[in-house]
Amino acid sequence: MFTMGIDIGSSSSKVVILEDGVNIIAGEVIQIGTGSTGPKRVLDEALSKAGLTLQDMAKIIATGYGRSSVEEAHKQISEISCQAKGVFFLVPSAKIIIDIGGQDVKAIRLDSKGGVKQFFMNDKCAAGTGRFLDVMSRVLEVNLDEMAEYDSRATEPATVSSTCTVFAESEVISQLSNGVAKENIIAGVHQSVASKACGLAYRCGVEEDIVMCGGVAKDLGVVRAISKELKKPVIVAPNPQITAALGAAIFAFEEVIGANK
């Protein structure tokens, strides 16, 4: 039996096709999100990779910011529950999830069964999100996938505000014009993101294992900064951008099984 999870975020679209609730047949990501061609393209890509059609799916569940606009879905579940489900499947020892996506930062505390015990999210502010890193990457003229490498060469991380993306951007511009090395600025940017995420994680109560997911988890500079701040190791979920879509696909599987009992 095949089930599908579709996670339409603010800046990327993800689809997971799951066989019998355990085998990931496809896990595709397109780096544009809701309101774009991303959702359709990622759906087509995943189906084509799996060699399946929508009719083969026993159930489809959508999650993420754009979950309500996915016509193919039979149901919507919040990305909080889906992240918990997906991460717990991949890392059963997970207690705390730190999920940083395009416009949201979340810390989720799991119960012993992988359910959501508590969660905290950023307020109406882009500081500390993937969008924040996007802005900084543009100003610094360093690609997102190169930022971790720059960070690893930093000698003295600069101070970058964690309260506002716009203010942080002007801080970064003034540091650039003062000749501060990009490596140090990027390490400061990563610390700024980490301080925002860790603030939420502390409210959940920090307990190992701590697992990071979401697109920003691919930036190891952020992962290192979070680990340093929490003084604990941080596990990056395998393929961290698809964990919510995976969770949605697992929910879909469980619901089909539950309905057939």
Partner 1 sequence: MTDTTNMMAKELLGFYQEELYEEARRAKKEGKLVCWSASVAPSELCVTMDIAMIYPETHAAGIGARKGALDMLEVADEKGYNLDTCSYARVNLGYMELLKEEALTGKTPEKLEKTPAARIPLPDLLITCNNICNTLLKWYENLAVELNIPLIIIDVPFNHTMPIPQYAKDYIAEQFKDAITQLEEICGKKFDYDKFLKVQEQTQRSVAQWNRVASLSSHKPSPLNCFDLFNYMALIVCARSKDYAEITFKKFADELEENLKNGIYAFKGSEQKRVTWEGIAVWPHLGHTFKGLKNLGNIMTGSAYPGLWNLSYTPGDMSSMAEAYTRIYINTCLDNKVKVLSDIISGGKCDGVVYHQNRSCKLMSFLNVETADMLQKENGLPYVSFDGDQTDPRNFAPAQFDTRVQALDEMMKQKEGVSNE
Q: CB of 204: closest distance to partner 1 in angstroms?
A: 11
Q: CB of 261: closest distance to partner 1 in angstroms?
A: 11
Q: CA–CA separation, 201 vs 207, rounded Å?
A: 9
Nearer to partner 1, 78 or 181 (CB): 78
CA 1 to the chain's CA centroid: 27
3-class SS string, 8-57: ECCCCEEEEEEECCCEEEEEEEECCCCCCCHHHHHHHHHHHHHCCCHHHE
Beta carbons of 18 and 2 less than 8 angstroms apart: yes
Nearer to partner 1, 114 or 157 (CB): 114
Q: CB of 129: closest distance to partner 1 in angstroms?
A: 12
Nearer to partner 1, 157 or 247 (CB): 247
Cβ of 247: how many Cβ atoms within 10 Å?
30
Dihedral sign of CA atoms 200, 120, 85, 41 in order: negative
Nearer to partner 1, 2 or 65 (CB): 65
Rama region for 51: left / alpha / beta (φ>0; ψ in -120 to 50; rest): left
The strand order across the sheet containing 116-121 reads 116-121, 105-110, 96-100, 210-213, 234-236
Q: Where along the sequence are the contacts to partner 1 (CB under 8 A)?
A: 65, 68, 75-81, 104, 115-116, 118-119, 121, 123-124, 203, 251, 254-255, 258
Nearer to partner 1, 33 or 157 (CB): 33
Q: CB of 125: closest distance to partner 1 in angstroms?
A: 8
Residue 67: CA atoms inside 13 Å, Cβ hemisphere, count?
19
For residue 199, count CB atoms less than 10 angstroms from its CB and return exposed for 0-12, middle for 13-18, buried for 19 or more: middle
Position 246, amino acid: L
Q: CB of 83: closest distance to partner 1 in angstroms?
A: 10
Q: CB of 239: closest distance to partner 1 in angstroms?
A: 23
Position 203, amino acid: R
Q: CB of 67: closest distance to partner 1 in angstroms?
A: 9
Nearer to partner 1, 103 or 192 (CB): 103
Beta carbons of 180 and 158 less than 8 angstroms apart: yes
Nearer to partner 1, 153 or 203 (CB): 203
